[in-house]
Structure 1
């Protein structure tokens, strides 16, 4: 059982799905940020994330020529998909995947289907840069908001419209933001205008709510049960879907994820270690818990 389910400080299980021609930093930037995250920033043994990599054939080469042997092939990862709390889809080299509708498309669909069949678990789907184009073709962005690298906004809109015609006819709001979070989970603060971490707003521009400030994302079982019920009523069973823009925006989005799933203190410490200036995106919907 993961930390997401039982409220413990066990590592959150993360699966990176790599494809031929992935962008090296789309993978390495978020990977590095997660690697540094701790449940207790003063205790190196409390690492917050346990990361597994997979690819269609067990090894893959990035756009920049880095050959990487992954932990699993995608077939094995699919068999074990219930074990993972977070699925990360980097960008780069997406044209061939879109043309052939090849992996990781079925993996993305399977992960989203898991959340719809079991909304009691808190799952997150995170894409970096043009990885959101793959999410669009897979149909998981229908009825949500999303972003991508600025050079690909139009392509994302076209893919989302195609997916809508072939699916539920639900449109996607493509936003020009660093990152966009759907189905967030957070606590309301006393003054949302003073939130130092997340610029939260709805697509219509009205502020919605803020990031949680607790040290543990899964305290108080009664609240968790209530949020499970509300999560089930959201699209995709409340699957948290985060799309990020270019490479560094992917690190921004990862810091958001650390703040949401571990603590804002941990996210701040990671940003300090990386000497990274955290820039904020938006949350467009969520469960206030």
Structure 2
């Protein structure tokens, strides 16, 4: 399995790291030795909203060869949802079988057309913005719409990561990873 973790300028670091940590444990804890990932970006210079710097593995490369796409949220998502270049690049993930987002990352999935007619969630402050992209805005912490899974605000990133672990590798492995993380809320 091959995952693409999307990063962008002015993202929220915890949105990215909260999902990244449990998913990459699939490999580091030897549950899925063939689980691979890349950090992908539209630009080469990426910093979160507090100026923490990130280095992407690739920039503006097509995303269609991945099995999983994960998009964080953050202040940058508000303008990127209207950035034609970024959204065109994100649309190259059309054939990716499983797409996921944290917080306002759902606005980016929506702008790319991946939420059309689906239930989705985002940070409560962005419910009205999300409504134009999806069939129904949900207040659930994690919303599984089949090929797209969205999570609410920043702290739901860990929940999403563990949810994806279970979806990919099963409940027992999710329990083991949550236990290793000392995460009591999803075990």
Task: State whether TM-score is above 0.5.
Answer: yes
- After superposition, give the CA deviation of every residue in 1:65-116 in whole Å (9 maximum; x if it has no partner): 1111110012x2x0xx34310011110121221233341x22332212x25x
Question: 1:91 maps to which residue?
Answer: 73
Question: 1:33 maps to which residue?
Answer: 22
Q: CA deviation at 1:36?
A: 1.4
Between the aligned partners of 2:78 and 2:123, the Cα distance in structure 1 is 14
- After superposition, give the CA deviation of every residue in 1:200-237 in whole Å (9 maximum; x if it has no partner): xxxxxxxxxxxxxxxxxxxxxxxxxxxxxxxxxxxxxx
Is 2:53 the counterpart of 1:67?
Answer: yes
Pick the aligned partner of 1:142 from 105, 116, 124: 116
Question: 1:250 maps to which residue?
Answer: 157
Pick the aligned partner of 2:137 from 137, 152, 174: 174
Between the aligned partners of 2:34 and 2:125, the Cα distance in structure 1 is 33
Gaps of 5+ in 1: 1-11, 116-122, 161-170, 184-239, 281-289
The secondary structure found in structure 1 opposite 2:127 is helix
CA contact (8 A) 2:121 2:140 kept: yes
Q: CA deviation at 1:52?
A: 0.3
Between the aligned partners of 2:31 and 2:71, the Cα distance in structure 1 is 27
Is 2:42 the counterpart of 1:53?
Answer: no
Q: Alignment RMSD, CA only? A: 2.1
Between the aligned partners of 1:46 and 1:271, the Cα distance in structure 2 is 16
Q: State how many pairs are aligned.
A: 186
CA contact (8 A) 1:33 1:251 kept: yes
- After TM superposition, the structure 1 stretch with the greater mean CA deviation from structure 2, 250-259 or 48-57, is 48-57
Is 2:5 the counterpart of 1:16?
Answer: yes
Gaps of 5+ in 2: none
Computing the radius of gyration from Cα coordinates, the structure with the larger value is 1
